[in-house]
Amino acid sequence: MHSPTVRQNGAGLASHFIRWWLPVLVWMGLIFTASADAKSYQHSSTLFEPLLRWLFPQMPQPTIELVHHVFRKCGHLTEYAVLALILWRAIHKPDKISSRAWRWDEAGLALAVVFLYAASDELHQIFVPTRTPLVTDVMIDTLGGALGLALLWTAGKIFKPRPK
């Protein structure tokens, strides 16, 4: 039988994991699931391209395809910006009571994990029919993570509580 202290510590570990790391793992799972979609391009074009044709009936097909491609790459930027932010949150563990200063090593660690996950995601695509792993996607994903962290840092500077 466990002592109350062990139970509290075990419960504390579970609570810590759920609060800080579960969102990271869920988001990584969503990225992995989307990456495993063999018809990802077709699925997004089924919705996006008709919308573009409706909004811009005179737009030539090559332009529609280009806009669709850029839209998909912006999706990469966004999903990895979110990953970087929730990774930073899990590493930094911000507290409402006492705000800790920004630490570049924590942001760097979050960005390194984003890069490694982006690289592993592209490696995973080798095994998905109709998907093509691209080094440029790893660069776009990592850029998304860097932009997310840069926006967070900037927001922290702008909205930093003023001393009374």
Q: What is the DSSP string of 66-124?
A: HHHHHHHHHHHHHHHHHHHHHHHHHHH---SSSPPPP-HHHHHHHHHHHHHHHHHHHHH
- What letter represents residue 117's amino acid? Y
User: Within 13 A of 130's CA, how many CA atoms are on the CB side?
Assistant: 9
42: left (phi over 0), alpha (psi -120 to 50) or beta: alpha
The Cα–Cα gap between 161 and 114 comes to: 29
pTM: 0.81
How far, in Å, CA of 1 to CA of 3, rounded?
A: 7
More confident residue, 11 or 113: 113
Residues of the chain with pLDDT > 90: what percent? 49
Burial 99-121 (b: 16+ CB within 10 A, else e): eeeeeeebbeebbebbbebbbeb
**Predicted local distance difference test score (pLDDT) of residue 26:** 96
The answer to whether the Cα torsion of 69, 72, 78, 83 is positive or negative is negative
pLDDT tens for each residue of 47-97: 888 889 899 999 999 998 899 889 888 988 999 999 999 999 999 887 666
Question: Angle, nearest 10°, between helix axes 135-158 and 61-92?
Answer: 60
